[in-house]
Structure 1
Amino acid sequence: MKIIITGVGLIGGSFARDLRNLFPQAGILGMDLNPDHLERSVKLGVIDGEAGPEDVAMADLVIIAIPVDAAIKVVPEILEKVKDECLVIDTGSTKFRLCESLKDHSKRRNFLAAHPIAGTEYSGPEAAVTHLYQNKTLIICEVEKTAFKLQERAFEIFRQLGMRIRYMDTRAHDKHIAYVSHLSHISSFMLGKTVLEKEKNERDIFDMAGSGFASTVRLAKSSPAMWTPIFKENRENVLETLTEYIANLSHFQQLLEQNNFEEIYGEMERTNYIKTILKGIN
């Protein structure tokens, strides 16, 4: 079995580590625009070496884990090269534009649009870990457009990785993920920016930052190279979420200005319901 990982960072590298455990005899090769990433991935044992065009043509499985704007260009090119029995899985966090761009592709049946709800704030080959996907949700879009035999292969891999499958329309996926993921990252980046601008003494930030600040700003350590394309590709949905979020922040500010702490308490108490929804999530 020949596996190619396109993008050997956190997401692609973690798939590579788990797939090596599932298929110990498989050859796992990598593709990445950053040659240093490839070199480090080989040294870390994430991949066996760099893939060339001839390897893509012979691959049985290709995992795409690159910035979402690059995927729109790269996925069709890879599909052009693969054999009929090859399964190509994209793992990006926006799906509508990519799937639209592939709707008339001659090898659309080889493609599976997937989004693992997993990851950390770290990036690069060193961030790749085993079991990243265990007990995590995997959203799959337009499953009916993937060849049934390739679906079966994919689902068996996901089952062995311990993932929970959920199906979603591409538009609904991009809208919902803007609220529960993309907005969280914007909030974290802007909180970090605000603190850095006001607290010039780095030692003060380190000494005074409690676990609440650390956990809230954790996502601000995420890669701008990955997240800028996400905001670009999902711009309309992100703008909608920002409008609603800013309205809530402005309302909270007004309550403070009015000394209306009874309503502030009520707002926080009502929002505490989120504990029930998120119960059991790490």
Structure 2
Amino acid sequence: MKNIYIIGVGLIGGSLAIDIKKNNPETVIYGISRKEATLNEALSLKLIDKKATLDDVENADLVIIAIPVDATVKLLPTILDKIPDSGLVVDAGSTKVDICKVVENHPKRRNFLAMHPIAGTEYSGPSAAFSGLFIGKTNIVCEVEKTTFKLQEKALKLFTDIGMRIRYMNPEAHDKHIAYMSHLSHISSFMLGKTVIEKEKNERDIFDMAGSGFESTVRLAKSSPAMWTPIFKQNKDNVIETLDEYITNLTHFKELMKQNDFDAIYNEMENTNHIKDILKGIS
């Protein structure tokens, strides 16, 4: 794939650009963004080789869409309209149902591969991109059977070569599972940060007394609201289900505290300790 266009040269798009270029130095990486400043920064950081516009994707071998999911839903059909028959479009969105649905009847549906590389940090923008982000990370691919085999084969090799492992899932299962594994943790982090900010009015107290446990738990509250609000909107039903179950567990814990049943609290925590065995080896 000689000509790769990345729409959204931030953490995900920029990190993909770095490692794809490292493995394929002959490839020309083009950046597309609504903001000229973003493209200038991406150029200065050498994430991209050249700037481009949406019309230029008619020359693309591969287009990677790495923008908020609401923008992806709006833009994806237009990108498919423009790409050549030999080109492929992939997206990196954290929801899949709405994205897959918007192109289910598109004449070039076979030129689209829905995917979700499960990797990232709490930072955003071109300066957040770095090499090695995707090593050992899972890339969930949805509706692979709807994509032309030769195109998907080339793309999946590109992503496995930078360290990702591939897992296949239907869009509905993806959105349900990711609500528990990702979306809930972001909401928890935002709300923990909100609780502390509202209670601890003195910012110096927060700074001085925040230990590593608080810092790691609230880390995701530094994530971009512009990215996460559309995710919660698109996955609303699944997110509400996870919140209902989470609130039930919190309420139960609170009741045990009220009852001074610390044996039960110990058992709750001990049973949950098994999570460390499940997550062993994940950085």
What's the TM-score bracket when you normalise by the shorter of the two chains?
over 0.9
Residue by residue, what CA displacement relative to the aligned partner does 1:84-122 show, whole Å, maximum 9, x if unpaired?
111111110100111011111000111000100100000
The Cα of 1:11 is off from its aligned counterpart by 0.5
Q: Which residue of 2 aligns with 1:129?
A: 130
> In the comparison of the two structures, how many residue pairs are matched?
282
SS of the equivalent of 1:144 reads helix
Residue by residue, what CA displacement relative to the aligned partner does 1:55-86 show, whole Å, maximum 9, x if unpaired?
21001111000100110111111000000111
Residue by residue, what CA displacement relative to the aligned partner does 1:230-271 show, whole Å, maximum 9, x if unpaired?
001101100000011011111111111111111101111111
Give runs of aligned pairs for residues 11-90 of structure 1, distance below 5 A: 11-90=12-91
Q: Which residue of 2 aligns with 1:178?
A: 179
Partners of 1:123 and 1:193 lie apart in 2 by 21
Q: Which residue of 1 aligns with 2:223?
A: 222
> What stretches of structure 2 of length at least 5 have no aligned partner?
none
Are the counterparts in 1 of residues 54 and 79 from structure 2 also a CA contact under 8 Å?
no
Q: Which residue of 1 aligns with 2:260?
A: 259
Amino acid in structure 1 at the alignment position of 2:229:
T
Residue by residue, what CA displacement relative to the aligned partner does 1:24-82 show, whole Å, maximum 9, x if unpaired?
12221111122221111111111123212442100111100010011011111100000
Partners of 1:157 and 1:36 lie apart in 2 by 28
Are the counterparts in 1 of residues 140 and 167 from structure 2 also a CA contact under 8 Å?
yes
Amino acid in structure 1 at the alignment position of 2:112:
F
Partners of 1:137 and 1:19 lie apart in 2 by 17
Partners of 2:12 and 2:210 lie apart in 1 by 29
Amino acid in structure 2 at the alignment position of 1:230:
I
Partners of 1:266 and 1:159 lie apart in 2 by 41
Amino acid in structure 1 at the alignment position of 2:9:
V
SS of the equivalent of 2:79 reads helix
Q: Which residue of 2 aligns with 1:109?
A: 110
Partners of 1:105 and 1:131 lie apart in 2 by 34
> Given the alignment of the two structures, is residue 8 of structure 1 paired with residue 9 of structure 2, yes or no?
yes
Residue by residue, what CA displacement relative to the aligned partner does 1:117-166 show, whole Å, maximum 9, x if unpaired?
10000000000111111111110000000000011101211221111111
Partners of 1:52 and 1:157 lie apart in 2 by 23
Q: Which residue of 2 aligns with 1:271?
A: 272
Are the counterparts in 1 of residues 137 and 165 from structure 2 also a CA contact under 8 Å?
yes
Partners of 2:235 and 2:31 lie apart in 1 by 27
Q: Which residue of 1 aligns with 2:158?
A: 157
Partners of 1:236 and 1:91 lie apart in 2 by 21
Amino acid in structure 1 at the alignment position of 2:18:
R
Structural RMSD (CA): 0.9
SS of the equivalent of 1:179 reads helix
> Given the alignment of the two structures, is residue 92 of structure 1 paired with residue 93 of structure 2, yes or no?
yes
Partners of 1:32 and 1:243 lie apart in 2 by 38
SS of the equivalent of 2:121 reads coil
Amino acid in structure 2 at the alignment position of 1:196:
I
Aligned-pair identity in percent equals: 65
SS of the equivalent of 1:227 reads helix
SS of the equivalent of 2:250 reads helix
SS of the equivalent of 1:55 reads helix
SS of the equivalent of 1:85 reads coil
Are the counterparts in 1 of residues 7 and 33 from structure 2 also a CA contact under 8 Å?
yes
Amino acid in structure 1 at the alignment position of 2:142:
C
Partners of 1:54 and 1:234 lie apart in 2 by 31
Residue by residue, what CA displacement relative to the aligned partner does 1:194-235 show, whole Å, maximum 9, x if unpaired?
111111111111111111000000000000110010001101
Partners of 2:178 and 2:3 lie apart in 1 by 32
Partners of 2:274 and 2:35 lie apart in 1 by 44
